């Protein structure tokens, strides 16, 4: 490829990325309705008890014998997974939308990173109403369609089966429900993230730059009822969460 063609290819990619960066802010200005906001600028009422306030719910009591895992520190939330925990840590809040944008500041500290989950506990087609997840790790951006894939009751039934035909059916059912885009996110440093949910496509922007996108059928679930942070590693830190709807009546 000669220099002119290389330059043209670079400009096409660069301008396309910048156009997507600008599009999120424009979209929120034109159609955004703030559904939920929390700056975490407060302290727990009792210092030795996990109490995030503002109607946040965690799974700590169920998985780690009441050891504090979600803690308000310096007007942020530090999410730490206890050695006694039998499951990943999650903190969730009602923030319903169909199409929308989730924005937050975050900091990761290990290779397992931080998950941004969507749940609809009224949906009976998947375990716990899991719909989808975006997970940020130091090396990539992970997309998971839980509704159609991993947490789909039929997929879970097929997974338990010892019949080779069921195993084949499971692989077919799960095909395309997970994807990883290689992307470097530094640890021990603050970043900001915007996640755009638009019908069957999710787009991720980190530090105000387009980072990755993926399309899967379950992403278009009509009621994204609950948002949750999740941690399966050592810890992560979050701040300034905003959940927007871009659906107009």
pLDDT computed for residue 4 by the predictor:
54
Residue 12 confidence class, pLDDT cut points 50, 70, 90: very low
What is the rounded distance in angstroms from the CA atom of residue 13 to the CA atom of residue 153? 40
DSSP conformation class of 177: S
Pairing of strands 89-97, 178-182: unpaired
Residue 16 has pLDDT above 50, yes or no: no
Instruction: Please write the tens of the pLDDT for every residue from 228-239.
Output: 999 999 999 999
- Listed as own residue / partner, the contacts of 184-191 with beta carbons closer than 8 Å and 24 or more positions apart are 184/138, 184/139, 185/108, 185/113, 185/136, 185/137, 185/138, 186/138, 187/107, 187/108, 187/109, 187/110, 187/138, 188/107, 188/109, 189/107, 190/105, 190/106, 190/107, 191/105, 191/106, 191/107
Instruction: Give me the residues paired with residue 236 across strands.
Output: 79, 108
Check residue 107 and give its pLDDT. 98
Side-chain-side CA neighbours of residue 16 (13 Å) = 8
Quick: pLDDT tens for 123-165. 999 999 999 999 999 999 999 999 999 999 998 888 888 888 8
| Tokens, residue 34 | 């703030």
Q: DSSP secondary-structure letter at 126?
A: B
Sorted by where each starts, the structural domains of the chain and their CATH numbers stand as 3-245 (2.60.120.560)
Strand partners, 241: 38
Beta strand pairing status for 140-145 and 178-182? antiparallel
Quote helix, strand, coil % in the chain, to nearest 5.
Answer: 25, 40, 35
Has residue 1 got a pLDDT over 60?
A: no
Q: What is the pLDDT of residue 13?
A: 43
Nearest residue to 224 via CA among 82, 112, 99, 66? 99
């Amino acid at each position: 490829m000669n220099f002119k063609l290389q330059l043209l290819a670079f400009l096409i990619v660069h301008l396309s990325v910048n156009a997507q960066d600008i599009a999120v802010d424009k979209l929120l200005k034109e159609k955004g309705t703030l559904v939920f906001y929390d700056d975490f600028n407060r302290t727990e009422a009792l210092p030795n008890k996990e109490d995030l306030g503002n109607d946040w719910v965690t799974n700590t009591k169920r998985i780690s014998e009441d050891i504090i895992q979600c803690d308000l520190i310096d007007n942020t939330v530090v999410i730490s997974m206890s050695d006694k925990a039998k499951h990943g840590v999650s903190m969730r809040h009602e923030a319903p939308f169909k199409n929308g944008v989730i924005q937050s500041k975050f900091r990761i500290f290990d290779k397992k990173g931080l998950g941004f989950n969507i749940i609809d506990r009224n949906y009976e087609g998947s375990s716990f109403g899991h719909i989808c997840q975006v997970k940020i790790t130091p090396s990539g951006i992970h997309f998971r369609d839980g509704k159609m894939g991993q947490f789909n009751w039929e997929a879970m039934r097929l997974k338990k089966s010892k019949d080779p035909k069921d195993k084949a059916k499971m692989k077919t059912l799960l095909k395309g429900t997970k994807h990883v885009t290689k992307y470097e996110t530094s640890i021990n440093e603050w970043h900001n993230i915007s996640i755009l949910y638009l019908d069957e496509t999710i787009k991720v922007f980190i530090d105000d730059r387009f980072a990755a996108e993926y399309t899967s059928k379950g992403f278009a679930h009509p009621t994204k009822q609950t948002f949750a942070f999740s941690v399966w590693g050592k810890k992560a830190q979050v701040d300034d969460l905003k959940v927007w709807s871009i659906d107009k009546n």
